């Protein structure tokens, strides 16, 4: 940062704009500004002659981590919409926060930005200041820091960074409605409900994977105990071998269910996250469209073209959201069925476990660690079955909610 910019930052404060105002801008594929609305121009402090043809990073503030822009750029270049909290800087050195919804279009990108006012935005503002400073001090590569953000989102219980952004967008829209005293929008309510269900489902999937990994050591422990208790081929040895054979089948099924590449849990998470973000985007675009009708045209910008683009994009986001919701509902149904099948297979393992418990009782004081091993099995089995039940309930909830929303939107 130059000395002049540092001086401006010390003397400038937050640039004011109203909660009901929305920023609009469109760029080419390189990020060069092609069009925008008066809110963007006024708050940024630049005249149109300086904005049009300039790179959008003209308003970039150093306290927005480079990782955020890397994630945004990666997504939109692949044709996926993405959102982000962004701290921008005005010409005078002032600053202003937005939640940006960025969507790829033919030949470039379109962005609609709103004023973030939720509790989550307060946390993100504090996090950005710390994280951007860490990027600079430690000279962290943007790709590496982007990976850190993605891992952080997963650690907080989100299936992906897109899922976190859908959650954030839902929070901002709901908080905005409350502060503007608007009637709750059904799309925003779906966002909140589905994000809550997805967060819970993701936590259950992570827990299921951990229990599954821990379960792998139990058959080996049982064989070691059997070798101390009886000659080869005795009842405990037979139980351990049967348990191992049956658990291998279930382990393979659990691996493809939770941890394998393209596993069904991951598929559902991605489709739900995509649907929810598109759903929120559709609502933001709808409001931007309404404001565009009332706005005065800007000299040098083809206003009719911008309105047409916004209308087309709103319709596309709505259609794409319904398609993604339909896919997610189908995958959720498959997830429920697979959960039931794994639970049924677990009943077979339960039978073998009970035989082990019976054998342990027959040996009484001579069980030699068998009792502790069976206790381990009891704990793992209960945890796995409980998590499967929870995943089934949540996937059914997601399937029903999305199907209900699709019916309501079709009827409307």
pLDDT at 7: 39
pLDDT at 9: 44
Average pLDDT in the 230-250 region? 77
Domain 3-131 carries which CATH code? Answer: 3.30.450.20
CA atoms within 13 A on the CB side of 189: 7
Point out the least confidently predicted range of 65-69, 137-141, 157-161, 219-223: 219-223
Helix axes 119-138, 161-179, angle to 10 degrees: 140
Q: In the 8-state DSSP scheme, what is residue 260?
A: S
In angstroms, the CA 236 to CA 260 distance is 33
At 370-399, the pLDDT tens digits run 778 788 888 888 888 898 898 888 888 888
Domain boundaries, the chain: 3-131, 186-411
At 339-372, the pLDDT tens digits run 888 888 888 888 888 887 787 777 665 556 777 8
- Average pLDDT value for the chain: 86
Nearest to 328 by CA among 278, 367, 362: 278
The pTM of this model reads 0.81
């Amino acid at each position: 940062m130059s000395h002049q910019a540092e001086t401006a930052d010390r003397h400038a404060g937050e640039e004011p704009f109203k909660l009901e105002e929305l920023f609009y801008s469109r760029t080419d594929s390189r990020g060069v500004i092609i069009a925008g609305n008066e809110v963007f121009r006024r708050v940024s402090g630049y005249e149109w002659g300086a904005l049009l043809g300039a790179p959008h990073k003209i308003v970039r503030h150093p306290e927005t981590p480079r990782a955020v822009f890397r994630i945004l750029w990666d997504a939109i270049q692949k044709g996926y919409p993405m959102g982000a909290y962004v701290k921008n800087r005005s010409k005078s050195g002032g600053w202003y926060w937005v939640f940006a919804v960025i969507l790829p279009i033919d030949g470039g990108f379109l962005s609609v930005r709103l004023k973030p006012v939720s509790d989550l935005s307060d946390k993100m503002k504090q996090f950005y200041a710390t994280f951007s400073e860490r990027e600079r001090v430690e000279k962290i590569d943007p790709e590496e820091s982007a990976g850190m953000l993605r891992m952080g989102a997963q650690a907080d219980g989100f299936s992906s960074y897109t899922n976190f952004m859908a959650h954030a967008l839902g929070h901002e829209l709901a908080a905005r409605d409350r502060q503007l005293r608007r009637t709750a929008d059904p799309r925003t309510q779906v966002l909140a409900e589905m994000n809550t269900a997805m967060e819970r489902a993701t936590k259950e999937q992570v827990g299921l994977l951990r229990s599954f990994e821990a379960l792998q050591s139990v058959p080996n422990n049982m064989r070691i105990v059997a070798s101390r208790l009886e000659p080869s081929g005795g009842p405990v040895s037979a139980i351990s071998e049967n348990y191992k054979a049956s658990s291998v089948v279930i382990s393979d099924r659990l691996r493809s269910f939770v941890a394998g590449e393209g596993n069904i849990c991951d598929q559902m998470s991605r489709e739900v996250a995509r649907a929810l973000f598109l759903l929120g985007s559709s609502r933001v675009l709808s409001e931007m469209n309404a404001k565009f009708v009332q706005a005065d045209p800007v000299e040098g910008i083809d206003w009719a073209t911008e309105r047409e683009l916004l209308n087309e994009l709103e319709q596309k986001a709505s259609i794409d959201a319904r398609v993604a919701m339909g896919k997610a509902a189908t995958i959720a149904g498959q997830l429920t069925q697979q959960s039931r099948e794994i639970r049924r297979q677990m009943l077979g393992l339960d039978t073998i476990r009970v035989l082990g418990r019976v054998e342990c009782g027959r040996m009484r004081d001579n069980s030699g660690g068998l009792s502790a091993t069976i206790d381990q099995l009891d704990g793992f089995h209960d945890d796995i079955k409980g998590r499967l039940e929870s995943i089934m309930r949540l996937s059914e909830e997601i399937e029903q909610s999305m199907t209900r929303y699709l019916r309501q939107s079709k009827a409307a």
